[in-house]
Amino acid sequence: MIDLTGKVILVTGGSQGIGAATVKTLYQAGARVILHYGESRGKAEEIAQQLGRDACHLVQADLGQKQAAPELWRQAMQWQGKIDVVVNNAGMISATSIDDDFATWSQNWQQTLQVNLIAVADLCREAIHHFQQPNLQQKPQDPQQPSGIIINISSRAAFRGDQPNFMHYAASKGGVISLTRSIARGFAKDNILAYAIAPGFVQTERIAAMMQIEDAAQLTQDIPMGKMASPEDVAHVVAFLASGLSPHTTGTTIDINGASYVH
């Protein structure tokens, strides 16, 4: 069993889908969880009530707005005075075509990059600064334990690309991979670990809505396992990485795509 007792973990986009499953899994492993949400206050409140306010703290922020990430970090830090692990899960996806007018095209690109990449980088910056500061109020850290862990949720699209209407989404997620590897290389000396997770199709509310439009068989036809991953499949990997049990895997991307690498 993974034991995250004593760890405080920030999960962005934690009110639904992969984020909600991650919040619950981390709680079950003993962590105290800061659940960030954008608009779904009701869903966030429901999760917090299930887990208990002493174990789950809510923070709201619109990561589509510039400057939102530093303020989110400030509010999150007020709860326990520390954050041990950051899970950058919040993201957005919306279609845009090269045939759209330029204003629409540009707005979709800028908003997608803001939420999926720039806000992620901003939170990583805040986390790195925090992890670099020795906490003099605590006992000296076990040298085998990381000073902090960053887990960024990317996508299979970062490596395979995506349909033309989602080029901006794939580009943003490709940036997350490069960002994560750069952090792992640049801050290993500070005992900071950074990982990326690249899911394919996951059974979330967003995918369920998509399946009402497209045939489910069409969405899964390129997955050799024949079905989508569950949100818990991703959450379990997050919990393992958050444990710090495999520090030399820092910089790694873990694929969760049912072996659908190429097709």
What residues are labeled active site? 169
Cβ(32)–Cβ(213) below 8 Å: no
Report d(CA 187, CA 254) in Å as an integer.
20
Report d(CA 46, CA 28) in Å as an integer.
16
Q: Which residues of 19-46 are buried (b: 16+ CB within 10 A; e: fewer)?
A: bbbbbbbbbebebbbbbbbbebeebbee
Strand, helix or coil at 16? coil
Report d(CA 52, CA 56) in Å as an integer.
6
Q: How far is CA 239 from CA 100, 110, 232, 236, 247, in A?
A: 41, 31, 10, 5, 14
Structure tokens belonging to residue 253: 């991307």
Structure tokens belonging to residue 66: 């510039």
Report d(CA 179, CA 48) in Å as an integer.
31
